Amino acid sequence: MEKYLTPEQVAEIFGVKTRTVWDWIRKKKLGAIKSGRLYHISLEQLKEFQEARKTK
Give tens-digit pLDDT for 1-54: 789 999 999 999 999 999 999 999 999 999 999 999 999 999 999 999 999 988
Cβ proximity of 36 and 22 under 8 Å: no
Whole-angstrom distance, CA of residue 41 vs CA of residue 20: 14
Local confidence band at 55 (pLDDT 50, 70, 90 cut-offs): confident
pLDDT score recorded for residue 26 = 95
pLDDT score recorded for residue 2 = 80
- The three-point CA angle 16-55-3 to 5° equals 50
pLDDT score recorded for residue 56 = 79
Number of H helices, E strands in the chain: 3, 3
